[in-house]
Amino acid sequence: MSTSSRLPGLLREKEAELLREWIREQTQTLSTQQGRLSETDLREQSREFLALLRRATQDGELADVRGSGWREVLDALASLSRSRARQGFTPAQTASFIFSLKGPLFALLRKELGNDGAALADETWTASVLLDQLGLYTAESFIKNREEIISRQQEEMLELSTPVVKLWEGVLALPMIGTLDSARTQIVMETLLQKIVETGAEVAIIDITGVPTVDTLVAQHLIKTVTAARLMGADCIISGIRPQIAQTIVHLGVDLGDVVTKATLADAFAVALQRRGLVLSAARPRS
Amino acid sequence: MGDCLLVTIQVDMHDRLALALQEDLTERISATGAHGVLIDISSLEIVDSFIGRMFANIAAMARVLDAVTVVVGMQPAVAITLVELGLSLPGVRTALNVERGIALLRSSLDVPETGDVSGVS
Greater confidence, A188 or A285? A188
B83 in contact with A at a CB cutoff of 8 Å?
Answer: yes
Greater confidence, B109 or A106? A106
Q: Which residues of B58-92 are buried (b: 16+ CB within 10 A; e: fewer)?
A: bbebbeebebbbbbbbbbbebbbbbbeeebbbeeb
Mean per-residue pLDDT for A188-213? 87
Instruction: Enumerate the H helices of chain A as residue ranges.
Output: 7-13, 15-30, 39-59, 71-87, 91-99, 102-113, 117-159, 182-199, 216-231, 243-252, 265-275
Same domain? A129 vs A28: yes
Instruction: Count the domains in chain A.
Output: 2
Same domain? A196 vs A226: yes
Q: What is the pLDDT of residue A239?
A: 92
Whether A233 and B101 lie within 8 Å, measured CB to CB: yes
**Residue A128 Ramachandran class (φ > 0 left, ψ -120 to 50 alpha, else beta):** alpha
The CATH number for A129's domain is 1.10.490
Does A283 map to a domain?
Answer: no
CA-based nearest residue to A26, from A121, A95, A119: A95
A199 in contact with B at a CB cutoff of 8 Å?
Answer: no
Instruction: Name the domain boundary from A137, A156, A175.
Output: A156
Whether A233 and B94 lie within 8 Å, measured CB to CB: yes
A227 in contact with B at a CB cutoff of 8 Å?
Answer: yes
Whether B83 and A228 lie within 8 Å, measured CB to CB: yes
Whether A202 and B96 lie within 8 Å, measured CB to CB: yes
Q: What is the pLDDT of residue A30?
A: 65
Greater confidence, A68 or A267? A267
In this structure, whether the domain defined by B4-110 belongs to CATH 3.30.750.24 is answered with yes
Same domain? A118 vs A243: no
| The amino acid at B120 | V
Does A285 map to a domain?
Answer: no
Does A169 map to a domain?
Answer: yes
Q: What is the pLDDT of residue A178?
A: 79
- Express each pLDDT in A166-189 by its tens digit: 888 889 998 888 777 777 788 888
For residue A205, name the pLDDT band (cuts at 50, 70, 90).
Answer: very high
For residue A103, name the pLDDT band (cuts at 50, 70, 90).
Answer: confident
A194 in contact with B at a CB cutoff of 8 Å?
Answer: yes
Same domain? A59 vs A83: yes
Chain B positions in Cβ-Cβ contact with residue A232 (cut-off 8 Å): 74, 76, 79, 94, 96
Starting at the edge strand found earlier in the chain, the sheet holding A165-168 runs A165-168, A171-177, A203-210, A235-239, A260-261
d(CA B91, CA A282): 39
Does A271 map to a domain?
Answer: yes
Instruction: Name the domain boundary from A103, A133, A156.
Output: A156
| The amino acid at A119 | A
A151 in contact with B at a CB cutoff of 8 Å?
Answer: no
Same domain? A203 vs A143: no
Same domain? A44 vs A182: no
**Residue B36, number of CB atoms within 10 A of its CB:** 25
Task: Kindly identify which residue of chain B lies nearest to residue A188, measuring between CA atoms.
Answer: B80
The CATH number for A226's domain is 3.30.750.24
Is pLDDT of B111 > 60?
no
Mean per-residue pLDDT for A246-262? 84
| Weakest-pLDDT range from A156-170, A266-280, B48-62 | A156-170
Does A255 map to a domain?
Answer: yes
- Express each pLDDT in A13-57 by its tens digit: 888 888 888 888 887 776 555 566 677 888 888 888 888 888 887
Of A202, A227, A232, the CB nearest to B76: A232
The yes/no answer to whether this complex scores an ipTM above 0.90 is: no
Q: What is the pLDDT of residue A4?
A: 60
Contacts 24+ apart (CB under 8 A), A19-25: A19/A46, A19/A47, A19/A50, A21/A103, A21/A104, A21/A107, A21/A108, A22/A46, A22/A50, A22/A100, A22/A101, A22/A104, A25/A100, A25/A101, A25/A103, A25/A104
For residue B110, name the pLDDT band (cuts at 50, 70, 90).
Answer: low
d(CA A192, CA A223): 14
Does A284 map to a domain?
Answer: no
Question: What is the three-state SS of B9-78?
Answer: CCCCCCHHHHHHHHHHHHHHHHHHCCCEEEEECCCCCCCCHHHHHHHHHHHHHHHHCCCEEEEECCCHHH
Instruction: Calculate the average pLDDT of chain B.
Output: 80
Same domain? A109 vs A210: no
Mean per-residue pLDDT for A155-161? 70
Q: What is the pLDDT of residue A283?
A: 83
d(CA A197, CA A164): 12
Is pLDDT of A3 > 50?
no
B74 in contact with A at a CB cutoff of 8 Å?
Answer: yes
Instruction: Name the domain boundary from A107, A126, A156.
Output: A156
Task: Kindly identify which residue of chain A lies nearest to residue B96, measuring between CA atoms.
Answer: A233
Residues recorded for chain A? 287
Q: What is the pLDDT of residue A259?
A: 84
Specify whether the CB–CB gap between A128 and A101 falls below 8 A. no
Instruction: Calculate the average pLDDT of chain A.
Output: 82
d(CA A200, CA B95): 10
Same domain? A182 vs A242: yes
Q: Measuring CA to CA, how many Å separate B62 from each of B4, B77, B92, B96?
A: 12, 26, 10, 21
Helix, coil or strand: residue A48: helix
Of A189, A197, A233, the CB nearest to B95: A233
Same domain? A178 vs A146: no
List the domain range (segments joined by +) for residue A255: 165-275
Chain B positions in Cβ-Cβ contact with residue A224 (cut-off 8 Å): 83-84
Q: What is the pTM of this model?
A: 0.60
- Express each pLDDT in B1-54 by its tens digit: 567 888 888 877 778 888 888 888 888 888 888 888 888 888 888 888 888 888
Task: Kindly identify which residue of chain A lies nearest to residue B88, measuring between CA atoms.
Answer: A227
Chain B positions in Cβ-Cβ contact with residue A183 (cut-off 8 Å): none
d(CA A263, CA A207): 9
CA-based nearest residue to B78, from B70, B89, B67, B68: B89
Is pLDDT of B120 > 60?
no
Is pLDDT of A2 > 70?
no
Same domain? A150 vs A72: yes
Per-domain residue ranges of chain B: 4-110
For residue A275, name the pLDDT band (cuts at 50, 70, 90).
Answer: confident
Chain B positions in Cβ-Cβ contact with residue A193 (cut-off 8 Å): 76, 79-80
A231 in contact with B at a CB cutoff of 8 Å?
Answer: yes
